[in-house]
Amino acid sequence: MILRGTVYVEGELRRRYIEIEDGKILSVSTSKPAGHDVIECDGVILPGGIDMHVHFRDPGMTEKEDFFTGTKSAAFGGITTVMDMPNNQPPTDDTKRLKKKIKNVGKKSCIDFGLYGLVGKDNEKMLKQTSFFKVYMAPSTDTDGSYSPDEIEKILKSGGKVAFHCEDKSLFTEPGEDLPGHNRHRPVESELSAIKKLKELPAGNKHVCHATTIKSIGLARKVGCTVEVTPHHLFLNEEALLNTRGKVNPPLRGSDQQFYLWEAFERGDIDILASDHAPHLESEKDTDFEKAPSGLPGVETMYPLLLNSVAYGNISLSTVVKALSERPAELLELKKGRIAEGYDADLIVADFRESENISVSRLHSKAGWSPFEGFRAIFPRHVISHGEFVVKDRKFVGEKGKGEYISGQST
């Protein structure tokens, strides 16, 4: 396959040919390679996105999402690789469950995927199957927040990569009845307190999930962690008219904290953006605030929201590509995230003139709703994984089971 178009190469947009063979990029050149017909691409060719934080609810809660609908939804949003979290039913906390999950979701995934293990007592064996682990430092969806510093230390010393949900439950207050109340219930101080505790752990590959304030980002750096931010903490705040649909852990913060978070993103102070895609059904969300589960869908809208922000001049394309493609690939030690010789041919084609309102009727998650309904976004026209179209002309042409498992063991 040979693609020709305006290509994002080394931080710039240039007219190039991209030669692809066996799922890899053979060359990126100004002259046409011999031997293949050329596919002309209108719009801009960009690296596929890598979402390091999704909850596809498979196994155990597949009425909310499963690995096929989750990866299909991701693909429509320009995401070509996902990393799925372990708070399933049952949790992915031992080797047997991890192996079973790898086998079962591998039959469903239409893009590449990796799996986090939940830190438990079987970590040494689990490390043979995955390098990626998750720690919940406070109760959240389907986890009680218990963890063992000794087990975390063993994983880090063995070369494992550990992601942390940072909240200190000892600083929680009474549950709130609305979004500002939820913000007060799980305050910024609880987030900062939990991040500080990471300094007590040995050096290693430590990652802070869904930081919500600029203070959290600065503190994560000081204690030797990489850091991610979600699109909902960038685009939404506690004043959003979402009621329970905006309930998420950690909470949406105030507009002032949202503003400074955007500034940090613009400066390049954030390592990665990740959706924390955590779908619940409308029927579950539309209840009393205290009873409503925390979490919201976002894997399909993350890249399109950011592309629209680029089109409107709110953020640079290089900053977006770095946070959604280049830096995640570096953290996962994958030959992805760049359009360069030898890298996986994971690509999207997007037209910056095709801005539209997000409509739930055109999204593909089982959740059936979005906190970004009505927001402007630019969805990719084509999505390519390993040199094969998954989405073509905004239609799904992928296959279940085509995604490759990322263990982190051979990178």
Residues catalogued as catalytic: 276
Place of tokens 């178009």: 5
Q: What tokens does 318 get?
A: 């290089």
Report which of 139, 220, 236, 148 is spatially closest to residue 185, judged by C-alpha positions.
139
What are the C-alpha distances in Å from 220 to residues 10, 209, 243?
28, 10, 30
Q: Is 237 helix (H, G, I), strand (E, B) or coil?
A: coil
The region that residue 284 occupies, defined by phi over 0 for left and psi between -120 and 50 for alpha, beta otherwise, is: alpha
- For 385, the 3-state DSSP assignment is strand
Reading the block at residue 70, the tokens are 């989750």
User: Is residue 139 within 8 Å of 170, Cβ to Cβ?
Assistant: no
Distance CA 349, CA 224 (A): 36
Structure tokens at 195: 């991040």
Return d(Cα 202, Cα 196) in angstroms, integer. 13
Reduce the DSSP state of residue 38 to 3 states and report it. Answer: strand
Instruction: Fill in the DSSP letter of residue 339.
Output: -
CA pseudo-torsion sign 287, 289, 294, 297 = positive
Beta bridge partners of 21: 24
Q: Is 215 left (phi over 0), alpha (psi -120 to 50) or beta?
A: alpha
